[in-house]
Structure 1
């Protein structure tokens, strides 16, 4: 596959380099791919992450550099986790076979790629001189692949795409099924009767709604409108999420989220907790924890007291305050990491307090959790005393 960009990427990934170097728009280095605009290649070359490569993915077209770099960063992750993360980061994902072939080629284990070539010339209307795939603009002539690549493409058209619980909810094209989330939320959480078939198809709200009735998180939980709210990251790969946050904050015991998921426990839509002995007294504080801001009404944001940052800026998409600078001036920010890991530069730039959890010494969890609660209670007393009982 004749592509100097892919060849340069392979030179880095196959050399045993621990990671690729990402750069922000101002040229400063970063470890956060979400905020990076360029990738640094050998000989000091910088390539924009949105640059198209010659790797052609079925249904996706020519993949940008960002998709290739993202795939390499998650090369050891299970395929389902890779698809879920790609959907969350809005990065083009490839199929199971294409991913394996591309990873092996980037490692240097293969000399050529039998996947990633454009469709055969009869289907795309192009004829090339050397038989290699070339980069092309929209509606431009594309060169046909080699005979082996053409055969591989024909075989792939008959393959069944591997599906997972993540990909079943990822429709092709620009289709959106967000209205189904609201429909299920109304029926199963709020116990509202389903709308008519026509209104459900278009995501229309019921024509009659009780005046003054709250549809926010408190209405779903039956809580009071003064209950404090804590937001956690929605991703599977974060150290703290909805799978293990209750055991950590309520029982002062940390268990990796992957271990909790392996038990088959379903992710809760929200969690209710009661913090006893508030500020050393006898009063208790009720806290609601969730990872989806879709359940928050405009008035609920005043009750958000803390946000656990996972380290990626995409977590704050849909927040009332979308930028970390503005967000962490209005709520208390926390970040949880392992004791033997470095804090990412993006987290260091945010106004959050970093806590380190030990990988194996569970007796250290209790003082850590007590420190978190003590810090949060003081912050609430100073900044949002109206939430105190």
Structure 2
């Protein structure tokens, strides 16, 4: 009898076991999570001493999800949906209702011998019975599909999930109203002039190309106008004349600093300028609570103190670019990366040019910002990174941490990367 990965996961769960995650078809190389594994091994129900191997991209037998997404959602089943979204990339994410159904099935609420279609319907009934009669926190909830004539129940959400949904709705922007008769039922529209307008726009752009930037790769955003959804503190994406991770000019290359994208990190795009330029640490959560949108990237000017070793060096960098998405750094611009703040998790480097932490920190100066009373997170102690300590409630230690950061970056710029920036 052939078993689907979903059926095997169910049997493994009931046996109190966990699938094995491996890299590159090598059982000796264990992966930390399913999204970064190459293959997943399940115990064979017919022969417990054997295993059945599936690639993470194989169909799981549960809806349209692959094996990697299924097992990762299973591993995160005890976490809130909000935390699950923060840990999961867009390509490996399971929908809220599907995740609830999966947990209901694997939790033993549905018979093991059911067919796929029966299992899905039984899981839905189990969810409806659990949620019926319960109110959602703060009046928020999601309706589930029910049989005709039955009252629709509401699925209860944890307080942090309600808050996450509230913040998402606050950032929604209406781009069209289907109730407007000008949008619906207005008959066919002629959009043929769009082609001509596009041709004129492209021709205008070609005429305005600066000879100095000829041959430079185009920006990922074709417009430099600010996003109306963002506040006044948010910087617009740079124009082709600005220096960014996607634009490098030969006369004055800008050093790049990478910070974590997770809002739970100590240093993010919200508070990095205040910390590195103004020597004042402000927790990220304060910006989130105040409704400040996160910039897509930012630049800041650094003031060199009197007697600084770079003050007398022509072309020593004063301007720095900060990003939290290494995908935006071209391969040829990686020599400009001078610092990276880490969270202690290896998956942070999964899409970087240097995925091996030891190789990465041989090319880039690594830092970990943490509170003085907490232990270094994850694998930080295993890596050659500099730990920067700040106090939770007092700011007298901020200057020392910032000065320690710049000492490391300056040594790299004046040493190994001297030829990148001013020689």
TM-score by shorter chain over 0.5? yes
Partner of 2:411: 378
Change in Cα spacing, 1:281 to 1:242, as seen in structure 2 (3 Å) is: same
SS in 2 for 1:220: coil
Task: Measure the CA separation in 2 of the matches of 1:205 and 1:323.
Answer: 44
Residue 324 to residue 212, structure 1, CA distance change in 2 (3 Å): farther
1:69 corresponds to: 72
Q: Measure the CA separation in 2 of the matches of 1:312 and 1:199.
A: 47
Partner Cα distance (1:252, 1:233) in 2: 19
CA deviations 1:304-347 (Å, max 9, x no partner) are 211223444554466454554543322222233455345434x5
Matched residue of 1:289: which SS? strand
Find out whether 1:270 has 2:294 as its counterpart: no
Q: Displacement, 1:254? A: 3.5
64-73 or 29-38, larger mean C-alpha shift: 29-38
Match of 2:323 in 1: 290
CA-to-aligned-CA distance 1:127-149 (integer Å, 9 cap, x gap): xxx6433xxxxxxxxxx416953
**Rounded Cα–Cα distance in structure 2 between residues aligned with 1:378 and 1:252:** 19
* Structure 1 residue 4 displacement after superposition: 3.8
Indicate whether 1:252 and 2:279 are aligned. Answer: yes
Q: Which has the larger radius of gyration?
A: 2
Quickly say closer, same or farther: Cα 1:195–1:329, change in 2 above 3 A: farther
Give the aligned partner of residue 228 of structure 1: 255
CA drift at 1:265? 0.9
Q: Which residue of 2 aligns with 1:124?
A: none
Report SS of the residue matched to 1:246.
helix
Given that 1:22 and 1:38 are in contact with CA atoms closer than 8 Å, whether structure 2 keeps it comes out as yes
1:343-378 deviations in whole A, cap 9, x for unaligned?
434x55554334455555654433222212222222
Do the aligned partners of 1:231 and 1:289 also contact (CA within 8 Å) in 2?
Answer: yes
Partner of 2:12: 8
Q: Which has the higher contact order (CA 8 A, sep 6+)?
A: 1
Which region of structure 1 is more displaced relative to structure 2, 66-75 or 37-46?
A: 37-46
Select the residue among 100, 103, 115 that pairs with 1:132.
115
Alignment of 1:147-162 (within 5 A): 148-149=121-122, 155=145
The answer for unaligned runs of 5 or more in structure 1 is 14-18, 118-129, 134-143, 169-193
Residue 186 of structure 1 corresponds to: none
Distance 1:96 1:74 in 2: 11
1:289 to 1:100, Cα distance in 2 relative to 1, 3 A: same
User: Where in structure 2 are the equivalents of 1:57-96 lying within 5 Å?
Assistant: 57=63, 61-70=64-73, 72-73=75-76, 75-79=78-82, 82-83=84-85, 85-88=87-90, 90-91=91-92, 93-96=93-96
Q: CA, structure 1 residues 111+298, in 2 after alignment: closer, same or farther (shift >3 Å)?
A: closer
Q: Is the 8 A contact 1:226 1:303 kept in 2?
A: yes
Q: 2:360 aligned with 1:327, yes or no?
A: yes
What is the total number of aligned residue pairs between the two structures?
324
**Of residues 264, 270, 276 in structure 2, which corresponds to 1:243?**
270
CA distance change for structure 1 residues 378 and 4 in 2, over 3 Å: closer, same or farther? Answer: same
Q: Secondary structure at the match of 1:329?
A: helix
Using the size of structure 1 for normalisation, the TM-score is 0.61
| Alpha-carbon distance in 1 for matches of 2:36, 2:282 | 30
TM-score (norm 2): 0.57
User: Equivalent residue for 1:27?
Assistant: 28
Deviation at 1:242, TM superposition (A): 1.1
Whole-angstrom distance in 2 between the partners of 1:287 and 1:322: 23
Q: Deviations over 1:233-269 (max 9, x none)?
A: 3344443221222223233343443442232111113
Q: How does 1:19-58 map to 2 (within 5 A)?
A: 24=23, 25-28=26-29, 31=32, 34-37=35-38, 50=56, 56-57=62-63
Q: Please name the residue that 1:179 is paired with.
A: none
After TM superposition, give the deviation of residue 229 of structure 1 in Å.
1.8
Check 1:40–1:272 CA distance in 2 against 1; reply closer, same or farther (3 A cut). Answer: same
Determine the C-alpha separation between the residues in 2 that align with 1:205 and 1:102. 53
Distance 2:49 2:266 in 1: 35
Write the distance in 2 (CA, Å) between the matches of 1:295 and 1:72. 30
1:291 Cα deviation from its structure 2 partner: 2.4
Distance 1:149 1:238, change over 3 A: same
Mapped partners of 2:36, 2:370: distance in 1: 20
